[in-house]
A and B are shown apart, each in its own frame.
Chain A
Amino acid sequence: MEHGSLTDLRSSTFSLTDEDHTLANSARFALNKDPRVEFCGYSIPHPSDNRVNIRVQTTGDPAKEVFKDALQDLMVMCQHVRGTFDKAVVDFRESEHDKEMKIDS
């Protein structure tokens, strides 16, 4: 859910249910790395509420679009992490296999 003003789209607070530090902290990282973001932070209003509030203030672009872009970036990063990790595991298995072959021969 987005809380912001209708006239000034540059700043908004996004209230996300069923999320915690896991997503909020990563999203804050991605937002902070975006040059269009002027300020960004998050808080968990109450520990027994399953909710985080992410505040985004931009230098001009609509906060919602910037936030969505940040999440999109995060997804691309995750995909890259997954690809790199899978490749590293395959490489490791191969090198282990090669080592075993050498010992056997």
Chain B
Amino acid sequence: MPRLSALDMPDVPKAQLPPHLEQQRTRVSCKSDAPLHTEGIQYSGAYASMGVDNSLRLDSFSKNFRVEVVRLTEDEIEFDMIGIDASLANAFRRILIAELPTMAIEKVLIANNTSVVQDEVLAQRLGLIPIEADPRLFEYVSENDTAHEKNTIVFKLDVRCKKDDGRIKAKSSELKWLPGGSELQMASTNSNPSTNPNAKPKTYTSFNCRQDSLPEFSHKPLRPKYGDITIAVLGAGQAIDLEVHAVKGVGRTHAKWSPVATAWYRMLPEVVLTQEVEDGKAEELVSKCPVNVFDIEDIGEGRKKAVVARPRACTLCRECIREKHWEECVDLRRVRDHFIFTIESTGALPPEVLFTEAVKILEQKCERIIAELS
């Protein structure tokens, strides 16, 4: 008898993985104790012995990649990204959180604070207030830079609770934009006005022009995105008088610069009934699932069977396979290259712009390395 390789047997299809391997390649299995086959198989030659090419050509990527927007509001987007590897989806997520710049309050100059909130706590609270300013219009400020109109936004907060006011709240809407820059005077060394009476008093910024004379800001005053954030509660007679300087930065330095409240993705769940689940068992299965993934379908003769109606809603809580023997009927999987991506913006930029900017940053990273190596 001639020696026959197992791969040449007639029931082994050519250039195609056997079903169990194909499932391993494209799905993550969720068993009752732990997920299985979580690692993606990236290596192009992983299935070479079976005559299957696992490399990726750009044209096949372009052909298979799809985006479907599910929900889009002013500050939130949910979309499906299909046909992309987790490494790229994760790169976008990481960039969204840590590497997209925004403007945030970095310096707080406190002239007076008699509230119960200590200076450092107050400064920390102020830092976290989202500023509605397009970061693309500003420059980074480095250690030795002076603050000028291209890299700093100045706001002032001056609230006072009169003796008979009871108690008042200082809200973020009371942060007033100072387009001309800082109004606080530096305690200068030669403060003698007689030496140069025309010199402007030195402040903490040196703006060359007023920001509201620049075309980008003249129609749209810079302000905190939300006016209803409580900064401090003032009792009778207490006052806060301070000035804040917002500068450009990235979330890697401090989370206050992160342009997203959260950016996350989950893989599309896939729920498969591997056996018919009928009658009493079907009802049991439907009642097990807290998010109503299953439905009952009549199959005539007074019999019923369970069907998977809303797999997308599945949270993979694994309740349906927790008890004995259920794992044999229900197979929980996740589609490895289908990501349900959600971005919640804090308001500086709309969420769809954030995503495109994130992709651009990854491109710039590649470009930088290519240039460095050339």
A and B: bona fide binding partners: yes
Please count how many residues in chain B sit with their CB below 8 Å of the partner chain's CB atoms.
Answer: 43
Does B373 reach chain A (CB closer than 8 Å)?
yes
Contact in complex: B84, A81 (CB < 8 Å): yes
Contact B65 A80 (CB under 8 A): yes
Q: Contact check, A82 vs B356: say whether CB atoms are below 8 A apart.
A: yes
| Closest chain A CB from B94 CB (angstroms) | 5
Produce 1/0 per residue, B32-46, CB < 8 A to A: 000000000011110
Asked if residues A19 and B365 are in contact (CB atoms below 8 Å), the reply is yes
Decide if B94 touches A34 in the complex (CB within 8 Å).
no
Chain A: minimal CB distance from B328 (Å): 35
Given contacts A75-B366, A77-B88, A82-B356, contact A21 B94 (CB under 8 A): yes
Q: Which residues of A contact B365 (CB under 8 A)?
A: 19, 22-23
**Interface pair A88/B69, CB less than 8 Å apart:** yes
A74 within 8 A of B: yes
Task: Give the one of B61, B67, B360 with max A CB within 10 A.
Answer: B67
Cα A60 to Cα B91 in complex, Å, equals 29
Q: For the complex, is B162 an interface residue (Cβ under 8 Å from A)?
A: no
Task: Confirm or deny: B66 has a beta carbon within 8 angstroms of a beta carbon on chain A.
Answer: yes
Q: Given A29-B42, A75-B366, 15 more contacts at CB 8 Å?
A: A19-B369, A23-B362, A25-B91, A27-B366, A28-B87, A34-B55, A35-B55, A68-B373, A74-B88, A77-B88, A80-B58, A80-B62, A85-B355, A86-B356, A88-B68
* Chain B residues packing against A (C-beta within 8 Å): 42-45, 53-56, 58, 61-62, 65-69, 72, 79, 81, 84-85, 87-88, 90-91, 94-95, 99, 352, 355-356, 359-360, 362-363, 365-367, 369-370, 372-374
**What are 14 inter-chain pairs, A to B, with CB distance below 8 A?**
A22-B90, A22-B362, A25-B91, A28-B87, A33-B42, A33-B54, A68-B370, A68-B373, A71-B370, A78-B362, A78-B366, A82-B356, A82-B360, A85-B356
Q: Footprint of B on A, CB under 8 Å?
A: 2, 14, 16, 19-23, 25-29, 32-35, 37, 64, 67-68, 71-82, 84-89, 91-93, 96
